[in-house]
Amino acid sequence: MGKVLIIGAGGVGTVVAHKMASVPEIFGDIMLASRTKSKCDAIAKSIGKDSIRTAQVDADQVRELTALIRSFEPDLVVNVALPYQDLAIMDACLETGVSYLDTANYEPKEEAKFEYRWQWAYHDRFKQAGLTAILGCGFDPGVTGVFTAYAVKHHFDEIHYLDIVDCNAGDHGHPFATNFNPEINIREVTQKGKYWENGQWIFTAPHEIHRPLNYPDIGAKESYLIYHEELESLVKHFPTLKRARFWMTFGEEYLTHLRVIQNIGMARIDPILYQGKEIVPIQFLKAVLPNPGDLGANYTGWTSIGCRIMGVRNGTTHHYYVYNNCSHEAAYKETGTQAVSYTTGVPAMIGAMMFMKGLWKQPGVFNVEQFDPDPFMEQLPLNGLPWKELHDADPEL
Ligand code: NDP
């Protein structure tokens, strides 16, 4: 029985709390803390078990975090607040001697640039302290790294081409909404495209490269090459990769709104003066957009996320596609959130379970693909995310 502190009570935090409460033999004592305590209380109430305690914390403040961690004494802190808080929470973990897990890499508030280098720089300190930090344990990053490690372990001698394909074929009924935190989401999808080829990064204009891709049981969807954070760790940990790309589907309506938002300056991340007060346009926009955590009620359709991999085994070239399809309706029925929060929260819970069971417990800072993928893959279908494999099907890419 372990003690876990979850930080962040948004869509993803809701799923993590629900899922952890469903395995009390692993997570015997759960605390959910966030900036707004009433959100934690509402989640704890909806789960309806008395195993979840709640607390208020500003996770930008290391002192507040260390006080909370010292009073609760968890074995692991699961960070599902925002990427801005990653370093403060890692600092607090080091100070209090507690291990760490997150789902998104650090990004400074004032610059839309996410990179692992800030968190990788903590490796020696975590190692010396005998603590584990598991980075990027959502779906993408997260399961996509585990899928890749699984392919390397079981299906190839060497992998050469990796395409991560992320399709949301769902309909939430709003003209424009983002499926996770709008500020983080808009910063991510409006940046330049970038992919790995022959030992270097190739940059593209935002959304410059796109093509229809076929997703299992969904069909063809226009898919756009964007940069996504797991590419950085995957090309490092699998150096045989000659090319690694990430594709995400966007509807015309979504892209049109995005263009307008950018053109009128609402995607700006620098503060502007409005009626004598400083505001950041993208943060103001977040306040008027639908809350991603509330999108679930009328969401229909599926997400489909997977890895298409080409490599060699016994001197022969093979294609391999491993993916999960997740229903928005089923996710909502179980946890009250849509499939994007669900597909992120379930792997975070499984990563925490791997740590608690001692299977993913190693001093230092690690990305998920550095651990044994097998026990994690085994848990995915048992916790609502079944996966399927296609061997030597048309790779399209
Ligand atoms: P939300 O915006 O719905 O929730 C974020 C939560 O963090 C809110 O409860 C918010 O509090 C809290 N928070 C923000 N700042 C602080 C702070 N300073 N101190 C304490 N709490 C704070 O986001 P999501 O649930 O959609 O996403 C959570 C994380 O998951 C993000 O980092 C996101 O990037 C990541 N993610 C990862 C994915 C993956 O597959 N790897 C996919 C989707 C998301 P308040 O309510 O007061 O604002």
281-308 per-position pLDDT tens digit: 999 999 999 988 889 999 999 999 999 9
**CA nearest neighbour of 54 among 68, 67, 37:** 37
327-368 per-position pLDDT tens digit: 999 999 999 999 999 999 999 999 999 999 999 999 999 999
Average pLDDT value for the chain:
96
The pLDDT confidence band at residue 51, using thresholds 50, 70 and 90, is confident
CB 134 within 8 A of CB 351: yes
Q: CA–CA separation, 85 vs 106, rounded Å?
A: 7
- Residue with the smallest CA separation from ligand 1 atom 4 is 10
242-291 per-position pLDDT tens digit: 999 999 999 999 999 999 999 999 999 999 999 999 999 999 999 999 98
DSSP three-state, residue 38: helix
Q: Which two tokens stand for residue 32?
A: 């959910």
Residue with token string 């346009």: 281
Q: What's the pTM value of the predicted model, to 2 decimals?
A: 0.96
- Ligand 1 centroid, distance to 350 Cα (angstroms): 18
Mean pLDDT score, 201-219? 97
Mean pLDDT score, 229-246? 98
Q: CA–CA separation, 229 vs 136, rounded Å?
A: 9
In this predicted structure, what is the pLDDT of residue 192? 93
- Ligand 1 centroid, distance to 352 Cα (angstroms): 17
Q: Which two tokens stand for residue 298?
A: 């009328």
The pLDDT confidence band at residue 157, using thresholds 50, 70 and 90, is very high
% of the chain with per-residue pLDDT over 70: 100
CB 56 within 8 A of CB 37: yes
- Ligand 1 centroid, distance to 379 Cα (angstroms): 24
In this predicted structure, what is the pLDDT of residue 183? 86
Ligand 1 atom at minimal distance to the Cα of residue 11: 25
In this predicted structure, what is the pLDDT of residue 49? 67
- Residue with the smallest CA separation from ligand 1 atom 1 is 10
Q: Which residues contact 83 (CB under 8 A, 6 or more apart)?
A: 104, 105, 106, 107, 114, 184
In this predicted structure, what is the pLDDT of residue 233? 98
- Ligand 1 centroid, distance to 7 Cα (angstroms): 9
Please report the domains of the chain, with CATH numbers, ordered by start residue: 2-135 (3.40.50.720), 143-337+384-391 (3.30.360.10)
Which residues contact ligand 1 via a Cβ below 6 A? 8-13, 34-36, 39, 57-60, 80-83, 85, 103-104, 138-142, 180-181, 184, 292-293, 340-341, 344
In this predicted structure, what is the pLDDT of residue 7? 98
What is the best residue among 62, 103, 179 to mutate for testing ligand 1's pocket, by most ligand atoms within 8 Å of CB? Answer: 103
What burial class does residue 147 get, using C-beta atoms within 10 Å of its C-beta: 0-12 exposed, 13-18 middle, 19+ buried? buried
- Ligand 1 centroid, distance to 12 Cα (angstroms): 7
The terminus-to-terminus CA distance of the chain in angstroms comes to 45
- Ligand 1 centroid, distance to 313 Cα (angstroms): 41
- Sign, CA torsion 223/228/230/234: positive
116-149 per-position pLDDT tens digit: 999 999 999 999 999 999 999 999 999 999 999 9
- Residue with the smallest CA separation from ligand 1 atom 7 is 81
81-101 per-position pLDDT tens digit: 999 999 999 999 999 999 999
